[in-house]
Structure 1
Amino acid sequence: MALRPQVVDRSLAAVIGVGGSIEAVAGSHGSRVWLGIAASTILAVPLAWRRVAPLLPVLVLAGVFVAVIEASGEIPTSAAMFVAWLTASYSVAAFGDLRLALAGLAVSTVLPVVAVLMGALDEDDLRPGDFAIAVVPWAAGRAIRSHRAQSDRLAEATRTLEAEREDHARTAVALERARVARDVHDVVAHTVSAIAVQADAAAAALPVDPEAASQRLERIQAAAAAAVDDLRTVVGGLRQNDTVARPQPGLQDLDALVDAARESGLEVDVTVTVDRLSDGRALAVYRIVQEALTNVRRHANATHAWIEVSRSGHGVHVQVCDDGVGCDGSRVGHGLTGIRERAEAYGGRLEVEAVGGGTRLVAVLPERAP
């Protein structure tokens, strides 16, 4: 388990302080022993907070450096001073911003010049290595800080991408659920409404015309079987291991849809001037017409419906009108919601209005989604 940074810093400070004190006792005598102990202790203390106050160790180092020269007339050459100098120069670069880092570099680098000015070091003895003790660890600290910042940026970018991926996954799941809900509703609502109409007709015909009633029951059976097939297609699309391409209804299936509506007693006129559409748009047109006819049979109390599928400069127009009681779309159920979602999925729109004694539904699907 990694040690906490505070533990590392305080341990480092303790080692420098204790080690410098031992060095002073072993290598000095008289008053210089206490000077060495004091210098080592003072140098060590700010290193315990080098991450939160990175400039402080450099400033204390400079103060101790000048104080030792003033007291002894010599440059401090203890191991504690050397290690503290390296550590302070590195820390101000690694943990301080650029302003603090440059200030720390200036203070740390100028100390050999201060020693010359105070007479503790001959100018001829000044060497590049005297400055390297400050510059090299400072450069290493800046490099590590830059690498750490880049790693943090990459980690943040990774977290952002992961969050976006999760959002996209949730959106995809929600869209798929909405699509399945639309498909199931379209299949079930259309078939159940057709079965209900045929069942009413069969019940009415049974006492007077058993043969006609039998025909109605056969149509109910056929409609139920078709609904089962459609539901299998919808459910089969949810299986990840289902690699068989299942045909989807399109423009070519509108005639069968209209025939089923006519068999339920609704008079339907159809005009289709569009010959080819993409599979997705063709399916959307089919489902829109299917749900519109379902609404006509279930809610409009209509006897006649008009269907027109055409193409204009704005895209594909699907218009369904009836002569029923009229509806302006203010009462929105799952059916109209599904139609609107299908249109909007292709960048289109839906308009529903009461016209005369009936309802006009217009869905527009652009040729290309925006």
Structure 2
Amino acid sequence: MKDLNIQAIGLMSGTSLDGLDVCCCTFRREARKWSFHIDCAKGYTYPDDLKQKLGAGAQQMSALEFITFHSAYGKFLGERVNEFMQEFNVRPDIIASHGHTIFHEPQKRIMYQIGDGAAIAAETRIPTVSDFRRLDIMLGGQGAPLVPIGDRLLFANYDYCLNIGGFSNISFEEDGHRIAFDISPVNYVINHYCRQVGLEFDRDGKIARQGSICQPLLDELNNMDFYQQAGPKSLGREWVETLVYPMLEKYGLNLEDRLRTFYEHAAHQIERVITTHSRPSGNSKLLITGGGAFNKFLIERIDALCPCEIVIPERQIIEYKEALIFAFLGTLYMADEPNCLASVTGAPIDNIGGMLFK
């Protein structure tokens, strides 16, 4: 296996709708080991009309409207990459785009990551890999999570890698296999209720900190069937909108109490997973990244419940780890190495997901 040196741009748009993350990294493979360096990174907020379409809007579109938006959003992504490359004076070997999840029902073998990779390649004139989930889902896997291959190869110093975005997800090694799955919704729910009072998010958890826990609601949330299932498993917006929102709203709570209860639920589910998969040494390290790592009150609750050392890395890793790893997925695609692990998705085999446009 020869040594490699590849520069890649990763694009990440999460279900929390906080914008587009662009991360340019250089990856090196030497003596079969991968390393990375973040060359530059930047976040781009979405215009309100685009945010609405990426939210509930796209799910209600006609087939023609949907495919038109798919192309237009791809063009938008390509334009942002062009701005990024000009600002930071970079021109990578490959672009890897997560797209934005509109449909995710793997049990029906249905998924759609909007944002046409061909449009990105056309705008930037750089080879682009997109649609990373489709092959895995057609093989019978969940198509998610995809980040664990990066956790295994780039962040092996940590016992657990937890990302808190629209949903929380975790990955760790167990019996020689990488295990990973979605834990619960987090920012997708928090931001939804904050927008109802004109806020984009609950800064530092200040709203939730003022509330009280509604124990019957907390018990009902914690007893949902999903949490009793073994992995691999993944969550989508459909599950939240069908089951979680009605549960949160039926108790007639004010915003503070509703969020306080939900924070406790999210922290409890993280603690439950880590306790179930605890390390014999008892000296485990939990790396936390994603937007939720900035939520002081949420981190306090996780720290109070979890039996491990919490590590909050440098800001650039917190904000751009998922975009960084999508750049890595594109790099693995170029290296002809698996970028999707059967042990985390439930597919019968590891696979090289993605579609290349060049």
Asked if these proteins are the same fold (TM beyond 0.5), I'd say no
Which structure has the highest helix share of the two? 1
The interval holding the TM-score normalised by the smaller chain is: under 0.3
**Greater RCO (Cα-Cα under 8 Å, separation 6 or more):** 2
Larger strand share, 1 or 2 = 2
